Structures are given as structure tokens and as C-alpha cells.
Amino acid sequence: MKKLLSRVGHALKTFFLILWTFLKKVFAWIIKIIKKFFYLLTHNKVIMMDYRYLTLFGKLKIRITNKRRDAVYGFIFIGLWVIGFLALTLYPLIMSLIYSLNKVTITAGEGIQFSFIGFGNFISIFTADLDFITYVQAFIGQIVLYVPIILVISMMIAILLNQKIKFRGFFRSIYFLPVIIASGPVINELLKQGAGTIPMIEQTGLLTTLNAVLPSFLAKPIGSLFSQMIIVLWFSGVQIVLFLAGLQKIGKEIYEAAQIDGASPWESFWKITLPSLKNIILVSSIYTIVMLATFANNDIIQHIQKQMFDTSRGYGYSSALAWIYFLLVALILGIVAAMITGRKESKIKHRVGGGNI
């Protein structure tokens, strides 16, 4: 038995040694390819860079400083995204704008046919499409309700997870896990099976009372908030990570100085934590709005998709809807960014050896 276990152990040791050697060679090969790729990016007929000069098109020479060298590498990384945007996104954007100004019909024999109507699709949206106006009102109400609640919940959970508690890493993983698995089809299936609702709310008749008391443009988002509270918690994963990153960058010595000066935890939160998280709040707000705007169950997106295959309206009309929706979301983002960045920053004053906050 001992000989058998010894042979098995020796075989396993040999296997893992071979595997480790193979992985080392694979990693070395990948690193070699990456180095060669970046070398080709900075040594070609368009860009030639050494330690002293950057040469463009073989003629224009620019002296390189450390700052300029870092900027070049940054532009190279950004350039990958720019190339992808130009190749995969810019063309569909331009074509959708062209579609929105035309009545588009698709025939089997002649393909796509354009009939220029100018702003006819846009005028028709505001004069004849009452469903779209209703969906927009509901979406604005949803933003007004959901964004503050998601941000507050995310900040509270992040503050709790930032404390020194047991199994802190496990709880962080649990709160972020839904972000990984909660894709559009998964959430749709969960909603169909009632996994995102709280049964007690429906049993008490709270939603019926809200519909009877509040106007429709407020009753629907509030009712959706209560009926999908679990889904709202699922939407808080990325925001929790952002707030955790912001909290970990705040120096502990600031809180210690505040405590010495007699500040309570509540005062420390309002005077230190919240002002320090101002940029994180902005990023989280933008992410939350974009997430809600692109959610698979969004009524506006479903309406756009429905009109796309409507023979009486088609691609031109749905493109106009998409552009109005895009401008609406951009306007909301601009207003939220102005509200957050426009407020005066709270100043934290303290004196060494004593003082007030």
C-alpha cells in the first residue's frame, strides 16, 4: 500500500512539474508576442520611437521627454479603443441618423429603399406616438427613484464591508456575484418566475394602494421599485466596488484627527467620507443611469424594437426613437453631472494638536 501511494505521489509530482513547465513556456510565449506587438506599434513606417526621438512618417522628429513618452504609450492604448469605435460603432451611428431622416422599406427584390422625409419621423413621435411619451415619463420617474436608492444602498453596504469583520472577502464576493451571472436573459427568467419580487408586498395590497393614490407616472416606478427590490439590490454590485475603492483611499489619520477633535462618527461621515466620495458618486450615478437605460426590460427599448419590425413605420421610425432616447439619456447625464460637480466641496479644517472640524 505504501509503495502504491508513493508511486501515485511521484506520478502526481511529475505531472504537476510537467504542467508547470508547460505553463511557463506558454506564458513566456504570450509575453514574447505582446512585446513584439508593442514593438511593432512603435517601430513602423508611421511611428518610429527610440529613447531620444519620436519620428512620424519618417520626416517629423519630436524630442522625447519622460512625460511625452508616457503620453505616447497612453495614446497607443487609447488608440486601440478609438480604432474599434471607428470600425464598429461610428458607421452604425451615422447610418442610424440617415435612417431617422428617411422612410425605410425593405423589399425582397430591391433591398433597402430610402424615401427622404426630413424630420417627419421625429414629428410623428411627439404627435402620434403616445406610448413612447408614456414610457419616457415612466423612465424619468424610474431614474428619479432608483438612482438615489441604489447609490445609498451601495454606499451603506460598502461602508459595512470596509469594516474589519470576519469573512469580509466572502461577503464582498457575494455582493458582486450577481453582476457576473445577472445577464439580460437570466434576469428576464428570474422576473418571469417571480424571483425578484417580495411576496409580502403583493399580499398586503401595497401596489394596488399606490396605483389608486398616485398618478400613473409616479405609481408605476414606485410600484416597480417595491416589487423588484431584490433586483435593485442585484444592480448595486459595481457601485459597491466603486465605493469600496473610494473608501480605502481615505487616510485613516483624517478620521483619527477628527476623533481627537471630538467629532462623532456621524459628523465624520458628513464632513470627511461624503466629500471624499464625491467623484465616486458621480461615476456611480452615471453608471447606474446608463445601466437602467440599457436594461433588457426597459419599456422604451422594447418599444423601439417593436417599431423596428412594424411595416407601417420600420427602421427609420425606430432610428428616430433611438436618437431621441439617446439625447434624453445624455441630457439626464448632463443634469446629474452638473448637480453633483456644481455643488461646493466641503472643506475639512483641522489643526495639529487640537481644533474643530
Domain boundaries, the chain: 2-42, 121-342
Of the spans 12-16, 24-28, 50-54, 171-175, which averages the highest pLDDT?
A: 24-28
The whole-number pLDDT of residue 128 equals 85
Q: What is the mean pLDDT of residues 328-343?
A: 88
Enter the C-alpha cell of residue 104: 425605410
pTM of the model: 0.69
Superfamily of domain 121-342: MetI-like (1.10.3720.10)
Look over the chain and give the mean of its residue pLDDT values, rounded to a whole number: 80
264 vs 329: CA distance, rounded Å = 40
The whole-number pLDDT of residue 345 equals 45
Neighbours of 99 (CB within 10 A): 23
Residue 328 has pLDDT above 90, yes or no: yes
Contacts 24+ apart (CB under 8 A), 28-37: none
Strand partners of residue 53? 63
Residue 356 has pLDDT above 50, yes or no: no
Residue 237 has pLDDT above 90, yes or no: no
The whole-number pLDDT of residue 334 equals 92
Of the spans 50-54, 137-141, 236-240, 318-322, which averages the highest pLDDT?
A: 318-322
The whole-number pLDDT of residue 348 equals 39
Confidence of residue 355 (pLDDT cuts 50, 70, 90): very low
Q: Higher confidence at residue 139 or residue 175?
A: 139
Confidence of residue 329 (pLDDT cuts 50, 70, 90): very high
pLDDT tens for 244-259 read 888 888 888 888 888 8
Distance between terminal CA atoms of the chain?
73
Residues 6+ apart with CB under 8 A from 272: 250, 254, 255, 258, 348, 357
Q: What is the mean pLDDT of residues 27-43?
A: 84
